[in-house]
Amino acid sequence: MSLFEKHKETIDKAVEAIHDRSFFAAYPEHPSPKIYGEDADKDGREKFQASLDKKFEDLLQENPEAWVGEEQSPYLNKALGILYPSFSADTLIERSQKAWSQWRNLSVDERAAVLVESLDGFKERFFENAYATMHTTGQGYMMAFQASGPHAADRALESLAMGYEEQKRFPEHQSWTKPMGKYEIKLNKSWRAVPKGISLVVGCSTFPTWNSVPGLYSSLVTGNTCIVKPHPGAILPMAIVVAEIQKVLKANGIDPNVCQLAPDTYSKMITKDLAEHKAVKLIDYTGGSKFGSYLEGLADKTVFTEKTGVNSIILDSAENIDKVAQNLAFSVCLYSGQMCTCPQNFFIPEEGINTPNGKVSFEDFAQKLADNINGLVDNPKAGPFVLGAIQNPNTTGHIEEAKKLGGKIWLESRSIDNPMFKEARTATPIIVEMSTKDKDKFTQELFGPIVLLIKTKNTEESVNMAAELAENHGAISCGAYTTDATTKNMIMDKMALSATPVSFNLTGGIYVNQNAGFSDFHVTGGNPSGNASLTNPEYVIKRFTWVGFREPVEG
């Protein structure tokens, strides 16, 4: 059985799931011993611990020019001490170019099979990767396992399936016969999906795998070679992924440099050297807007970005306002507001929120939200694990800035104890009341656990502000609560024009922050929060070029 035959069913099912868009997952999200094995968690933790304070030797990139690594654990408040093989931009590019010819000349089937095989290898390291993710990003264990493991693997599979399908949409060969009255013109035609060249994938520090593997797998399946430039603060999770890809490449007689890791340090970043190199044709980027916009502006590159946005919650009316407050409290606590989908600006009419029991005033809702947050963060069995730790020490600075915004502070941010990690850097959400007059203060992302409650004239103003913010400053998610059909339609129309997805009336165990592979497009690409969408067809189509050939049929 060929590698393609081994994985054909997985690829076919993934393609089907993309079009069906009902629930689908190829990699189970539950870190259960029944699924992953009795010792899987223990083995993964030990493997992570064994990797500390030494060289990471799993990569197949020969003759390192240096060994670098500056990762810090937000839980342990100390360096991980792992060193990765490092190379100059020129060496990386040269190796990538050398590896390209073989990779691009494989069939789409062969490339897709190699990539699915690598995800199977990654699956064997989900637990190790969970600890790697916790101790670089500060995510709680469950999120670190799910988002960085199975959810990321599903997004990778989705991307490669989309790329697989797009390359199969037109025939490889076709005969073309044009009737010309008394005779015919007959041509043999063929078409090739030609990859663009070297693809650079630039990772972020909060979701190192989830945000990097879609670009990586999309570029690889379409025949490009890749250089993965992780954030210096979160290298290990992607090092594991790249190592698994290289292992499968080598096992199949393919140059492992088809996919290289390019770790760097804070003091000597190599992203610009790589991005500006003529041979780099594709760039995937997740991170701050300033650098993202610089990359988007580079000439002759195809650039896919996820930058920052300002996410809104629109509160109009609700069946059960307590469940709403509970749901939103969880949303803002989850990973301490360090998710790109976390809501920041809550728009509430000055006359309050309609409920079956009458209006709930702005003040009452603010108090309910504060109470629910306190209830969650002070629950020792939940709070520390939902909040996780703060990845970047600068994030506490944003909380300080939020304090100075001038509005009433409904809830102060504070540290809580993590029972497992005494040194963990933690921060609970701050809630600040704002007026619509303060618009210039809430038009940008205040990264971290920061909630702004903005008093509006009415829901129409709420929606207009949310839409305007999304259109001018970007938004990745939006939550809306309304029991009125007309209002719902108005919200859908206005947010659609601002290219922002909307979750309506979420209560219970599903949150606006969450985003499902094979069903939810992540980022629309239509507002300033990013120009790419995971994973719509545009996301893969731009990675290759259709080129046609034709020749008269002989005789």
Matching residue, tokens 């100390």: 78
Q: Which of 524, 530, 532, 534 binds a second copy (CB under 8 A)?
A: 524
Binding mask 193-222 for a second copy (x = CB under 8 A): -x-x--------------------------
H runs (alpha helix) in 378-417 = 383-387, 395-403
Q: Is residue 7 near a second copy by the rule CB under 8 A? A: no
Q: Which of residues 35 and 420 has its CB atom nearest to a second copy in the complex?
A: 35
Q: Which of 175, 252, 265, 415 binds a second copy (CB under 8 A)?
A: 175
Could you tell me which stretch among 18-26, 122-130, 368-376, 411-419 binds a second copy (CB under 8 A)? 18-26
Q: Which of 6, 250, 408, 550 binds a second copy (CB under 8 A)?
A: 550
Contact present, 129 and 148 (Cβ < 8 Å): yes
Tell me how many degrees the CA angle 394-150-59 measures, rounded to the nearest 5: 75
Give residue 279's identity as a one-letter amino acid code.
Answer: A
Q: Which of residues 182 and 404 has its CB atom nearest to a second copy in the complex?
A: 182
H runs (alpha helix) in 37-107 = 40-51, 89-104
- Cα dihedral 101→106→110→111 (10° resolution): 40
Q: Which of residues 181 and 358 has its CB atom nearest to a second copy in the complex?
A: 181
Matching residue, tokens 């081994």: 6
Q: Is residue 328 near a second copy by the rule CB under 8 A? A: no
Binding mask 27-46 for a second copy (x = CB under 8 A): ---x----------------
Q: Is residue 546 near a second copy by the rule CB under 8 A? A: yes
Q: Which of residues 175 and 379 has its CB atom nearest to a second copy in the complex?
A: 175
Q: Which of 180, 358, 404, 440 binds a second copy (CB under 8 A)?
A: 180
Please state the three-class secondary structure of 239-294 as a single string: HHHHHHHHHHHHHCCCCHHHEEECCCECCECCHHHHHCCCCEEEEEEECCHHHHHH
- Nearest C-alpha neighbor of 382 from the set 342, 413, 428: 428
Q: Which of 525, 529, 530, 534 binds a second copy (CB under 8 A)?
A: 525
CB of 386 to a second copy, least distance (A): 17
Q: Is residue 521 near a second copy by the rule CB under 8 A? A: yes
Q: Which of 8, 47, 55, 189 binds a second copy (CB under 8 A)?
A: 189
Binding mask 266-295 for a second copy (x = CB under 8 A): ------------------------------
Please state the three-class secondary structure of 118-164 as a single string: HHHHHHCCHHHHHHHHHHHHCCCHHHHHHHHCHHHHHHHHHHHHHHH
Contact present, 223 and 195 (Cβ < 8 Å): yes
Q: Which of 21, 117, 248, 348 binds a second copy (CB under 8 A)?
A: 21
Q: How far apart are the first and last CA of the chain?
A: 40
- Nearest C-alpha neighbor of 517 from the set 163, 244, 147, 9: 147
Compute the distance between CA of residue 3 and CA of residue 253 in angstroms, rounded to an integer: 13
Q: Is residue 486 near a second copy by the rule CB under 8 A? A: no
Q: Which of residues 287 and 525 has its CB atom nearest to a second copy in the complex?
A: 525
Q: Which of 16, 176, 397, 417 binds a second copy (CB under 8 A)?
A: 176
Q: Is residue 9 near a second copy by the rule CB under 8 A? A: no
Could you tell me which stretch among 127-135, 227-235, 402-410, 532-540 binds a second copy (CB under 8 A)? 532-540
Binding mask 499-518 for a second copy (x = CB under 8 A): xxxxxxxxxxxx-----x--
Q: How far is CA 432 from CA 413, 465, 470, 484, in A?
A: 10, 18, 21, 28
Phi and psi at residue 279, in whole multiples of 5°?
-75, -20
- Nearest C-alpha neighbor of 155 from the set 536, 544, 524: 536
Q: Is residue 22 near a second copy by the rule CB under 8 A? A: yes
Q: How far is CA 463 from CA 106, 432, 440, in A?
A: 50, 20, 17
Q: Which of 50, 185, 251, 420 binds a second copy (CB under 8 A)?
A: 185
Structure tokens given for 186: 């007959």
Q: Which of 171, 380, 397, 419 binds a second copy (CB under 8 A)?
A: 171
Q: Which residues bind a second copy (CB under 8 A)?
A: 19-23, 30, 166, 169-171, 174-181, 183, 185, 187, 189, 191-192, 194, 196, 492, 495-497, 499-510, 516, 519-521, 524-526, 533, 536-538, 541-542, 545-552
